[in-house]
Each structure stands twice: as structure tokens, then as C-alpha cells.
A and B are shown apart, each in its own frame.
Chain A
Amino acid sequence: MPINLLHEQLINKIAAGEVIERPASVVKELLDNSIDAGANQIIVSIAQGGTTFIEVEDNGHGIKAQELKLAFERHATSKLKEEEDLFHIITMGFRGEALPSIASVSRLEIFSHNADEDAGVYALIHGGKFLDIHEQAMPVGTRIIIRDLFYNVPARKKFLKSIVTEANSIHDLVCRYAVARPDISFTYSNERKTYFKTPGNGSIKDVLVSLYGRQYIEGLVEVDYEGEDYSIQGLISTPAIKRLNRKNQFYFVNNRPIKNPMLYKAVDTAYRGLLISREYPVVALSLKVRTDLVDVNVHPQKTEVRFADERQVFTLVESVLRKRLNNLETNWISQVYKSDLSLSVTDDSFLTRSFKPQEQVASYSIPPRTEELFPRSVNTEINELMETTDTAHQIKVLGQIMDSYILIEMDRELWIIDQHAAHERILFERYKYSQSRQEHIHALVIPLTLQFSTEQMEIINHNQSWFHEQGFELEAIGHNDILLRAAPLPALGNEFEVIMELVEILKNSAYPDIYREMIIRMACRKAIKFGDRLTMDEAGSIMTELVKLDNFKHCPHGRPTMVRLTSGELERMFKRTGA
């Protein structure tokens, strides 16, 4: 078979295969263009899940009439000029593939008016061929209409999912963009029905309200971190709110919606102990990263990014979130109250509504945490209990039921406490607190040489400092040999197996916290169990200890330690509502 140089249209169709998979990818490319054109209003309309009709209209700077044809050439872009720019990408698009790719697989109409020119331009392109191009009067901006996507690529068309699925994925995409760019007003319509319009006032919260309604942002709090190379802004949910999947998690790096398992993991780690597994928080996190510390040119669809220093980003995200959550957890009871109050005050308009959890934090004081060795000293404890009654939470221990639950009245609500979970939490904090004290490295008199596979060696070399934290000192002395210079005593005689196991764990998860796992297990083992009968004093001391802790609402596994019945709930049960 002779070898032919492919003609341009075929090349474009092939390229389209990479970039344009489905209607949502068209919308994505067009949104990128609109954003790069500096638009602050973008209107997206679709029909039939985008298969027959997609329209994206913006008020950006438009395309100049004589450049219009060039814009549909492959690798034509205004966004990159030199190779150097590739490492400092600030625009959404840069590959110069989108327009020609879309044009080659659809019937496309474009209206564009460049701000510097007197009139706009109109073009009609079918399957990549210009059928018409002429001057057109219109406001500044660009409007692109795509009909009959994939009309000339039957194979692709066949593989499209149902109209509803495609429409959903476009909806989802536009939502993500809207959250990513609260400074831009997005309007989205499907089958002539307007689904949302975001205000474009720069507030993520307002965006979320317009996308999902007022209810959605209840219990969300703001995070804000400003650093030299990185900054993080956004909203995260309190542990009271949980979802069963990640659909409510939005991650943006330099305003680009992205997927990144490392960020998922960082968020999960921050919420660890507050949510149980397979519960996910709602987060909308916008990371701003210095452009040379992140690579967005990883995937043609640009949904993936690569960080120069993953570990640093991980730690940062985790610690910023954790700090925020801790700050919050101390005062969660007061918050329940105050948010009720603030609701009634600011119910009028979401735009004026301000949410200031920080103030609530400041308004409440927790008694300083003291290390108590024998928390069960009887009488003093009860007295203390009475004292705390006045200053912090109004706790009255009512008793124990079923040898398993403690009943208390706190702040005029009835609380039922899982005694095992509560004690577990207390012990966990105690162990955790002592964790930071001195640790020993137990060196070997006779260093051991151990053999590992190349893959294992890579993992070990990559995690040297982590191994060191666990008490192992490993030194590579060849391609497959490691000299073990120190190992924790409990591993004596099984050092090799233990290291193999750790390597296995490291392979499956990014930055495991073995120590934490260990103290969780220990706390669980040592805690009082269901069925252990407690005296009032014991129950009282557990409660006083418990409410001193951060995050006391959850045990280290993430299950709740306590549930409540409010007077409202009791009244409802007794059908006293409205009485």
C-alpha cells in the first residue's frame, strides 16, 4: 500500500478525535476560548444533549475579520507565541486545536466582532470547509453555533450516550466552569429552558446558590490561604454535611477545573476522623499556583495537571482544610444555634447574605486543655462539671442506659452518647497528644543487607524520609540492595517483611499515616466497651473530657460520638408543633 501524506481535513478529523469526544468537549473548548477572550458574560445553550445544537455566546474581545480564517487553521492560536510560554500558561487554551477540530466534525456558524473593528464578521463552515464569510453587524464578542455534531463521523456519533447523559455532562461542565470563575456570569439553557445564571460578582458562594439553590451552601464555610507560591480559596462543608460521591467536589488549579487524585486524597485526609469511608465532603477549592510549579499540558483535554511538588501541595491543602475544620469543630454546638439565628436575619437575598463563621469562633471560649492523668477523680470532677456548667456547655449527666449509652442534657438539648466512641475519641486525643514527644531510632549493631526488586527500590528511595519517620534507616547500596541501619524494635526479626509490607502500602496509597492507624487501633482496643457499666462519676468524667476536645462529635473512625434530640424534635414527636 502506498504511503500518502494525509490531507488537512483528515488530519483535523483525527485531531478532533483526541480533543472532541462528545458534545461536552465542544462546550469545554468554546468556554475556554470565551474565557481567554476576556469575556465576563457567557451564555451557553444546547438542544438534544448538544448533538444537534450548541451555542456559546460571549462578550469577549472577538476575532478580527481577517484573522477569522486563520483561527480555523490547525495550530493557529493567539495564546502562545514562543516555546517558553508553554511553561507559563495563563490562558485556558493554548494548543490551537479546538476550532479546526470542532469545525471539521460539524456544521458551524460563527459571528464575531473584534472590539477594535467597526463591524463583525460571519462565517459558515461545514465539515471544515468555508461555505460563506461576510461582514455582519453585531455587538462586540463572539457567538458560535454548532449544529449536527459528528454528522460526518458516523463512528463517533454511534458511540454517543443518551441525550440525557450528554446534556447532564454539559450541565456538569458548565457548572464547574461557573464555580471556577465566579467573576464571570454564566447562563446555561437546555431546550430553551434557562437552568441557571450566575451573578458574576466574584463570590463562589453566590455561584453555588445560583447553581444548586440556597440549601446547598448551608454548612459550607470559607477557606482562604494566601502563600508565596500557592494560594487556596474556596468553600468546604462542615462534617455534618456528607455526600456519597465526589460529584460535589470542585477542584480548580489556576481557574481551570481539573481532576486530580492527589487533591482528592488530601481532602479525604483532612476530613479523616470526621467522615467515615465512602462519605465525601462538599468542597470547591480554587488553587492558585505559580505557573512554573504546575504543568497543564498533560492531556489534550486539559483536565489533568501535574504539580512540580505533589507532596507540598498535598500537605498544604490538607493542613489548610484541617485547620479550618478544627477551628470550626470546637464550636460546632454554638454554630448550630447561631446559624439558626442568622438564617432568619438574612433570609432576604443571597447576594447580601454574609456568612462569617470566624466571628462565631471568636465569640466562644473553650477551657484550656490540660493533661489529666487520672480523670476519674471523683468529687473534684463533679464539682468541675458544675463549674463548666456556668462557663461553657450546660452539661447535666442524666445516666447510662443499656450499659452502652450515656444520656446528658447539654445546652437544653437531650444528647445520647455512644460511650465506646466517646472514650475512644478521648484516648485517641491523648495518644495523639503524646505522639510528638521524643521518638527513638533503634540502630543496628549489625546492619542488614536486604534485596528488593527495582520497583520496590524506587518506592523506598522515594520515601526515605517517610521510612525514617517510622524508625527505619535505609541506605541504597546498589541497584537492588539496601543497607538497613536502624529499625524499630517491634519489627525485630521481621524487618524484611515489615518493610515489604510498608512498600506495598505505599504503592497503593500516597502518604499513609501508619502511626495514626496504630493509635486509632490502640484507642479502640483500650476504650470502654458497650456493655460496660459506668458510675455517674465515670460518665461525668467522660463527658467533661470529651467536650474539651476538638472534633469531639466524631470518633477517630469518623462515626458520630453523640446524637441529639432537640426540644423542637421532642415537641414534634409529641405533636406539640405550633402549640
Chain B
Amino acid sequence: MKLTIEKSELSSLTTLVYRAAAIRDTIPVLRGLLIEVSPDKGLTMTATDMEIGIRASTAQCNVLEAGSALVNAYYFADFIKSLPDTTITLELNQESSRLNVLYGRSSGFINIYQQMEYPNLPIDELKKCLSLPQKVLREALKKTVFAAAVTHFRQVFTGVLFDIKADKLNIVASDTHRLAFYTYTIDQPDIEPHSFIIPTRTVNELNRVLEDTDDTIDIAFTANNVVFYKDDFLLFSRLIEGQYPNYEQVIPSSFNTRLMFDSEALIKALERSRTMPLDDKLKIHSVQLNLRETEVQFNTHSDDMGEIEDVIEQVKVDGDFDFRIAFNTNYFLDAVKLFASESKFISIDLSGSLGPSVIKNPERNDCLCVLVPLRTSQ
């Protein structure tokens, strides 16, 4: 095996792939990065810990001799990243089990694993199920994954739900205290209803490769796995097993009040509120909204440190007002930030001070965030 390749090309390919390798050492070979070189496909790299697997390839290289090598993924990635911007030669010395890396007049070598046992990715019978424009999937994931739990005894909450129903793809994430929802109309006829939950780690890896283009990415399933793939790139992931709760029931459809905020002003107020330190307890940042006819007062209080009373004027208030409602500031801010970049206004729909509220861009109905207000003892 031998090839020459520009450092930037090699480095970006490596960076894309290496993170799928196992961190723990239980099965040594899974810590490896498989490098394959062939005249027709160019350079292909694969890494997997069997939970997730990434394969990517590039044709922008000069293949001198076909072959393959398995190296430690993390070391290889670190090393490649540090190389100077020049043409790099990778050459396998089979006899000494070394991958020689030549850059300019310098060189190094990396010991290789015996690659015999490297597992195949479970992608033999790919059945394409659906394709989405990359920018749609990218947005859908960005606007939902933040709401998922990092750890949860009920595994489904650590993932993002893909729910295909008739011509809709609903993407949902929740940590039980909040819920983010995104829906997309698929213009693919006779698609079968199907739902699956992918781990947040997969989502994060996926987000690194998705581009803001209309080019599509395909999705396919096997029994326990999902595969996202496009030219030169493939990502497979174990699915989270379990029944996702009925999210549609959670999203309220009627409200008593609609608030329309200037995004900028709202973010400023919430960020100010969040500067209030937590009292030295297991408390949470919270902000109380006092709704008036044309303005909303944001009240933040700490027994130790002080109090902020922020008034946002010129809020459009439709429906009931003259009540107070409290939110977890961080949750609130997370949700507001989702929409602030795309819209000058943000709408918050409320049902009294206890009912669940919906935060969204008033011009869009395909994306929203559900928050339950805090119940305060005051």
C-alpha cells in the first residue's frame, strides 16, 4: 500500500472518521482506523466501536499501490493534524508492520494492528428508506438535539426520535422537562410509517458532515441500525431501543395568551437574568415573567446577591395577561436562541401560569419548543 495526498485532504478525512473508534480498550482492534487504498475508490477510512461507525473516502489522492493498514485512530489523527501543509506519503512496510509517513524531508512510522479481525460494518443489505436535503436534516437535528438528556434511566430520552408518519417526518427530543419538535413534509410517495431513535452522539457526528446544501443524504435501516449515507461518506449507528412516549399529546394546541417578543431584547434580558448566581444550593436559574398589557417584567432574584427587574416594553400581548409565570432560565434561553438567529420576533404561547408553553418563530409552524413553567411556592 502506498499513496501520496495533500495534508489538508488527509487531515480532514481523518478528522471525520477517527472519532468513531472505541475509546476504551476492551477490544483493541476497535481502537483502530482502517486505511484502505484502491485505484478506483482512492483512499477510504473506516472506524467503528460497533455502536457507531463512520466510513469516508476521497479520490483526491495519488494511489501508487493498493492495500490496507489498521492504525491506532487517536494517535494517527493527532499525528496527522500536526503535520505541515505539504504532500504526504503513506507507505506500508508489511514486513516490519509499520506505516511509514513521509512529509518533506521528515518522516515517522506508526505500528499497525493485525487487521485480520477488523469487523465489517453491518451495512450489507442497505434498504434505502428516505432521502432528505442535507440542510433540512442539519437544521432538524440542531433544533432538537439540545433538548435530549445526557443520561437518563429511560434510554429513549438520551436520543432523538425520527418518526415517519404518512408524508411527515417528525423529529423530537426531550429530557422530560422540555421537548423540541421539528417536522418536515416528505415529497416521497408511499413511504412506510416507521420510527427510530438515534443516540445524541450519532447526531453530533452527523452534524459535523452535513452541509448547508440541497444535496441529499440517504437514510436506510437494518434491524437495529440506521445508516446515513451520501457520496464518499457513510455513518451507521445502533438505535436506542424502547418506546418513545406519545409526544404529540405533549404539544399543546390551544392557548390563552400569545406573547410576541423582539428576539434581541428577549435574549438580552435572559442573559442578564442568568448572571444572577445561584444561591449556594442545588437550585436552578429561574426567571419570573410578570405579564402586563403591553409589556413584560422579568424578575430574577437571589437571596444572597440581589434582584433584577427587567422590563421589556412593546411586547405584543394577545389574550390573558396580568399573571406571573416562571421558567428555568437556561431552558428558556436555549429555546429562544434557537429562533433568534432566523427571526426578529419570537412568540411564546401560554395557558395560564401552570400550563405548558410553546416557544417558536411566529412565521414557522414546523419547529417549536415546549417548556413547562416552574411552580413556585410564592
Contacts and interface: CB of A to CB of B under 8 A. Distances in A.
B157 interface: yes
Residue of B176, B371, B373 contacting most chain A CB atoms (<10 Å): B176
Interface string B360-378: 0000000000111111111
Contacts of A493: 149-153, 157-158, 175
Contacts of B175: 492-493
Given A431-B280, A488-B282, A446 B328 contact: no
B244 to A, nearest CB: 9
B174 A446 contact: yes
B356 interface: yes
A442 B177 contact: yes
Given A445-B174, A493-B150, A493-B153, A522 B374 contact: no
Given A439-B377, A440-B286, A441-B375, A526 B179 contact: no
B154 interface: yes
B328 A442 contact: yes
A489 B177 contact: yes
A448 B280 contact: no
A373 interface: yes
Interface string B213-228: 0000000000000000
Interface in B112-171: 149-154, 157-158
A373 B280 CA distance: 13
A215 B272 CA distance: 63
Contacts of B179: 445-446
B326 interface: yes
Interface extent on B, as a size class?
Answer: 35 or more
Interface extent on A, as a size class?
Answer: 20 to 34
A445 B250 contact: yes
Contact of B281 (A445, A487, A495, A522): A522
A440 B283 CA distance: 8
Given A446-B179, A494-B153, A441 B374 contact: yes
B250 A446 contact: yes
A437 interface: yes
Nearest to A489: B284
A518 B280 CA distance: 11
Interface string A486-512: 111110111111000000000000000
Interface string B331-370: 0000000000000000000000010100000000000001
A493 B148 CA distance: 10
B349 to A, nearest CB: 14
Contacts of B149: 492-493
Contacts of B377: 438-440
B263 to A, nearest CB: 23
A443 interface: yes
A519 interface: yes
Contacts of B303: 433-434, 437
A442 B373 CA distance: 8
B282 A492 contact: no
Contacts of A526: 280
Contacts of B178: 445
Contacts of B378: 438
Contact of B372 (A443, A488, A522): A443
B282 A446 contact: no
A232 to B, nearest CB: 30
A444 B372 contact: yes
A434 B280 CA distance: 10
B151 A440 contact: no
Contacts of B153: 493-497
A69 to B, nearest CB: 68
Nearest to B301: A438
B25 interface: no
Given A373-B304, A492-B176, A493-B151, A519 B281 contact: yes
Nearest to B376: A438
A446 B176 contact: yes
Contacts of A486: 375
A440 B326 contact: yes
Residue of B151, B152, B326 contacting most chain A CB atoms (<10 Å): B152
B245 interface: yes
Residue of B177, B284, B304 contacting most chain A CB atoms (<10 Å): B177
Contacts of A490: 282
Nearest to A444: B176
Contacts of A441: 374-376
Contacts of B247: 446
B271 interface: no
B245 A446 contact: yes
Contacts of A518: 281-282
Given A373-B304, A440-B374, A445 B150 contact: no
A440 B284 CA distance: 8
A442 B149 CA distance: 15
A340 to B, nearest CB: 41
B309 interface: no
A448 B152 CA distance: 12
B177 A492 contact: yes
B168 to A, nearest CB: 20
B250 A442 contact: no
Contacts of A373: 304-305
A353 to B, nearest CB: 47
28 contacts: A431-B279, A431-B280, A431-B281, A433-B303, A439-B376, A440-B326, A440-B374, A440-B376, A441-B374, A442-B177, A442-B328, A444-B372, A445-B178, A446-B174, A446-B176, A446-B247, A448-B154, A486-B375, A489-B177, A492-B177, A493-B152, A493-B158, A494-B151, A497-B153, A518-B282, A519-B281, A522-B280, A526-B280
Interface of A: 373, 431, 433-434, 437-446, 448, 486-490, 492-497, 518-519, 522, 526
Given A431-B281, A438-B377, A443-B373, 10 more contacts: A373-B304, A437-B303, A438-B378, A442-B177, A442-B284, A442-B328, A444-B372, A445-B371, A446-B245, A493-B152
Which 5 residue pairs across A and B have the least CB separation, nearest first?
A: A434-B303, A441-B375, A493-B152, A440-B374, A443-B372
